């Protein structure tokens, strides 16, 4: 019949053993939890100091060839124009608002305001240790020059950049701190995305090859503008379709010079630039790649056969596909002049239409193809992780003292 139940229990008892084992496991988990907590704190501390340094590199000042004092001497030449603008402030029309401030239009001018905040003023004003100004102002004066009616009557925007009509500090509302204002001519054609939208609305038969035939020469002029900037010792650092303005079908203008930096700027060798945002160490080559990507984005948006352009880009076929992949293969040493020369070789031509590629493609395939090309042509910068790790929401963005 077997032993009675009571005597089947081991003499040393089971429950104390289980309790002891549970306590041992709990202690191990606590020690492991404390270890992981300390490790997380140390890693967070490392990321904090690392990204504070990285952001400090990004927002360090741009060194301009012309001294700030020489740039500021131009202020006196447009005092009357500034008085006219301020007297008609109630007639300014809001054009948009963004990271740095608001943009207005008045008559034939665009007035951009700069509010210090998430994007700090990188450059100090010489002669005044307590004053900073946005780098876009000295950059625009250095590269685009000062606007004059006489020069405008001869040739609009000969430099390929927007000239400066005025810049000044003024308050927008009573009891509010003065804000920097930058005034440039209004480019009636808008930017590349708005041109692409108009072209697509005007005609349902715009193929990317036809558009390329029309605009390739204009793209070449843009490359020459880029070459001029690089010869001056600067990089644009933020070329994208929305920063390319349309004066006419044969002239596009480079705008938004707030990220212009000298070639040797520390940001160009930072982890934030090279690893986090996948940019090229040579900022000149990086500018050139971004110009080409912006042009291809424009063609994709404006054409009615986007999928065929996507296929050409992915498979490296046609003049644009070959040009794109040849450029990427030589990206690290690419120059504006070299891309212009290669583009002349890969001349635009009427692409052989293949409507069956669209008829027999599944929706999922189209979406995957489109997403792939979106990634190839991406021009977006990301620094959210860096700002989060550096606690910029609490401590602000690190900038060097004047």
Q: Residue 291: which CATH number?
A: 1.10.510
Q: How many domains does the chain have?
A: 2
168 and 232 in one domain? no
| Per-residue CA distances from 275 to 267, 341, 386 (Å) | 12, 30, 12
Residue 164 corresponds to which tokens in the numbers above? 């400066």
The per-residue pLDDT for 126 is 77
165 and 270 in one domain? no
Report the C-alpha gap between 301 and 245 in whole angstroms. Answer: 16
Angle CA(223)–CA(237)–CA(164) in degrees, nearest 5?
A: 75
Q: Please give the full DSSP string across 202-224, using - where no structure is assigned.
A: H-S---HHHHHHHHHHHHHHHHH
172 and 194 in one domain? no
> pTM, whole model, 2 decimals?
0.86
276 and 335 in one domain? yes
Residue 70 lies in a domain: no
Q: Collect all residues with Cβ–Cβ distance below 8 Å to 188 and sequence separation of at least 6.
A: none
Distance from the Cα of residue 267 to its chain's centroid: 14
Report the C-alpha gap between 232 and 142 in whole angstroms. Answer: 9
Closest CA to 122 of 137, 114, 132: 132
Closest CA to 134 of 62, 66, 232: 62
Report the C-alpha gap between 285 and 299 in whole angstroms. Answer: 22
Residue 6 lies in a domain: no
372 and 249 in one domain? yes
261 and 379 in one domain? yes
What are the residues facing 70 on neighbouring strands?
none
b/e 284-314 (16+ beta carbons within 10 angstroms → b):
bbbbbbbbbbbbbbbbbbbbebbbbbbbbbe
**Domain end residue (candidates: 170, 186, 202):** 186
- 53 half-sphere exposure, CB direction, 13 A CA radius: 9
Residue 341 lies in a domain: yes
pLDDT below 70 — which residues of the chain? 1-24, 66-77, 117-118, 149-155, 174, 349-364
Residue 375 structural domain: 190-385
173 and 99 in one domain? yes
Q: Which phi and psi (to 5°) does residue 94 adopt?
A: -70, 125
């Amino acid at each position: 019949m077997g032993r009675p139940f009571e005597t089947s229990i081991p003499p040393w008892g089971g429950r104390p053993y289980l309790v002891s084992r549970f306590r041992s496991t709990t202690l191990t988990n606590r020690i492991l939890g404390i270890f992981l907590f300390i490790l997380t704190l140390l890693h967070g501390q490392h990321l904090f100091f690392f990204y504070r340094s990285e952001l400090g590199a990004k927002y360090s000042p741009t060194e301009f060839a012309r001294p700030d004092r020489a740039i500021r001497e131009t202020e006196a030449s447009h005092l009357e124009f500034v008085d006219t603008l301020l007297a008609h402030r109630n007639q300014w029309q809001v054009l948009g608002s963004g990271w740095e401030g608001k943009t207005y239009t008045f008559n034939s001018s665009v007035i951009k305001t700069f509010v210090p905040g998430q994007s700090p003023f990188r450059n100090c004003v010489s002669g005044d240790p307590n004053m900073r100004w946005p780098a876009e102002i000295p950059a625009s004066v250095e590269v685009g020059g000062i606007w004059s009616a006489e020069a405008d009557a001869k040739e609009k925007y000969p430099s390929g950049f927007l000239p400066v009509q005025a810049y000044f500090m003024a308050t927008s509302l009573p009891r509010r701190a003065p804000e920097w204002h930058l005034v440039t001519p209004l480019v009636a054609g808008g930017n590349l995305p708005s041109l692409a939208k108009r072209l697509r609305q005007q005609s349902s038969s715009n193929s990317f090859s036809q558009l390329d035939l029309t605009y390739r020469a204009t793209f070449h002029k843009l490359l020459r503008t880029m070459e001029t900037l690089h010869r001056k010792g600067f990089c644009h650092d933020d070329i994208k379709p929305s920063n390319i303005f349309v004066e006419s079908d044969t002239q596009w203008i480079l705008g938004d010079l707030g990220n212009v930096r000298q070639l040797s700027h520390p940001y160009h060798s930072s982890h934030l630039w090279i690893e986090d945002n996948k940019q090229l160490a040579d900022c000149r080559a990086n500018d050139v790649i971004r110009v080409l990507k912006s042009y291809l984005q424009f063609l994709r948006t404006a054409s009615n056969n986007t999928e065929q352009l996507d296929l050409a880009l992915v498979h490296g076929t046609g003049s644009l596909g070959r040009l794109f992949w040849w450029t990427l293969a030589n990206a690290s040493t690419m120059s504006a002049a070299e891309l212009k020369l290669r583009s002349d070789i890969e001349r635009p031509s009427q692409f052989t239409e293949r409507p069956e590629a669209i008829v027999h493609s599944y929706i999922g395939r189209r979406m995957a193809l489109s997403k792939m090309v979106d990634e190839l042509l991406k021009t977006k910068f990301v620094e959210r992780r860096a700002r989060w790790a550096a606690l910029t929401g609490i401590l602000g963005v690190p900038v060097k003292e004047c």
